[in-house]
Amino acid sequence: MKDIQTVLFDLDGTIIDARDRLLASCQRALRQLAVEIPDEADCWQAFRTLDAGRLVPAPLRQRFYELLMREYMAYTGEIRLIPGAHEALEYCRTHGYRTGIITGRPSSPDRVRAELDRLGVLSFIEVIKTQAGTPLNDILSKEQQLLEAVAELHATPERSLYVGDLPNDIISGRRAGLGACVAVLSGGVDRELLVACRPDALLNSIGELPGYLRDP
């Protein structure tokens, strides 16, 4: 790994625990489609295997994803950090790393900023990039946002690292030419799916990131 100066983070499943929010949003979306709601374990398994579309008949899948995202954005329940996230973000800032959030959420950066402020970690983040205005089918492709964040931080892709919980996070980081792409298991995605993307490291959670940065 090259000498890393910039650490960029995905948000949901990486910094913020998204499980309860995702399950609640899924149930609301299924209810609106008048589709039978499976038990929580089955719903979660569908997300773990990146196959949530199987929860509805094929003709309803696009609408299901649209409703799922709408409900996810409208969620007003409790939000909490992934254990160790506060410490990892603080470590990065106090050790001189430039930092940013690159999320697939199709919302304004201000909404993300407000959420991070509520969680007490906004001061550790310099740049926030979202997928506001991006078509739903493209929100997981983050190459452009990654490169924009790198440029705004006056960094270079080769000396930047991206941490995420989805295969698309690793793929986007690779396509953007980042120096390192680290996957975390805290989002719930099956280990095998993340390993298949060949990340530079696979951590249990962001809480292990300081150790990785000290001894990659």
- 30's torsion region: left (phi>0), alpha (psi -120 to 50) or beta? alpha
pLDDT at 193 over 80: yes
Query: How far from 92 is each of 58, 75, 100, 216, CA to CA, in Å?
Result: 44, 29, 11, 15
Residue 1: pLDDT band with limits 50, 70, 90: low
Q: What is the pLDDT of residues 5-34, one digit of tens each?
A: 999 999 999 999 999 999 999 999 999 999
User: Which three-class secondary structure state does DSSP give residue 100?
Assistant: strand
- Residue 91: Cβ within 10 Å count: 19
Using CA atoms of 197, 200, 204, 205 in order, give the dihedral in degrees to the nearest 10: -100
Q: What is the pTM of this model?
A: 0.95
pLDDT at 2 over 70: no
Strands (E), 56-187: 98-102, 127-129, 160-164, 180-184
Q: Name the helix (H) or strand (E) containing 19.
A: helix 19-32
Report the share of the chain in percent with pLDDT over 90.
Answer: 95
| CA 61/CA 85 separation, integer angstroms | 33
The CB-based long-range contact list for 41-44 (8 Å cut-off, 24+ gap) reads: 44/19, 44/188
Phi then psi for residue 150, to 5 deg, are -60, -45
**How does the average pLDDT of the chain come out, rounded?**
96
| CA 160/CA 151 separation, integer angstroms | 11
Average pLDDT over residues 144-167: 97
Rg (CA), the chain: 17
In the numeric block, which tokens belong to residue 169? 């996070």
Q: What is the pLDDT of residues 26-72, one digit of tens each?
A: 999 999 999 999 999 999 999 999 999 999 999 999 999 999 999 99
Q: What is the pLDDT of residues 162-175, one digit of tens each?
A: 999 999 999 999 99
